[in-house]
Structure 1
Amino acid sequence: MTTQKNWRSVVERIVKAQMSVRGVKYQQLSERLAHIGVTQSADNLRNKVNKGIMGADLLLQILMVLNARPMDMQELQEILTDLEDEHG
């Protein structure tokens, strides 16, 4: 069964992976968001990403400013399966 904790971990992993691929740190992410009119401090972003808790609007804005590649349902299912295996 997929828990709320697992869904939050998926959000965390997706955002961190996209940041890592592009070499973007939280301060840079904050600056990129500011360019589209979204005010989020680097510390606030770090907290939200690490907890995997943010509104859908912020998640989409982050993925947009990171030029995130499209994610298919197979990839999402693989992440969930890995998390369920880790957490028993």
Structure 2
Amino acid sequence: MPERNDWEEKAKGLLRAEMSRHSVTYAQLTERLSEHGVKDNERNLRNKVARGKFTAGFFLLCLHALGSSHLYLD
């Protein structure tokens, strides 16, 4: 099995950090994403984030749904 890409790990960590910073659970993020037309369930969302395999567009939509106005890269 190929090793996980460092950038995928970084994206996963950033998304999880923003969820934590905004005190948003996977269930709540699923609801917020559905308001933007993303029909997914909590389990699928949790798995997608755990794998770190998502598009830049999905990442930005998640940040928007979380209400993030700043992204801390460190």
TM-score by length of 2: 0.84
Q: 1:4 Cα shift?
A: 6.0
Q: Percent identity?
A: 35
Query: Structure 2 regions of 5+ residues with no counterpart?
Result: none
Query: Structure 1 regions of 5+ residues with no counterpart?
Result: 79-88
Q: 1: CA distance between counterparts of 2:40 and 2:68?
A: 19
Q: Which has the larger radius of gyration?
A: 1
Residue identity in the other structure for 2:40: Q
Query: What's the counterpart of residue 55 of structure 2?
Result: 55
Moved over 6 A (4+): none
Query: What's the counterpart of residue 35 of structure 1?
Result: 35
Residue identity in the other structure for 1:27: A
Query: What's the counterpart of residue 66 of structure 1?
Result: 66
Provide, for residues 45-64 of structure 1, a one-character-per-residue CA deviation record: whole Å limited to 9, x for no partner: 11111111112221111010
TM-score by length of 1: 0.72
Q: 1:40 Cα shift?
A: 1.7
Q: CA RMSD in A?
A: 1.8
Q: 2: CA distance between counterparts of 1:39 and 1:10?
A: 25
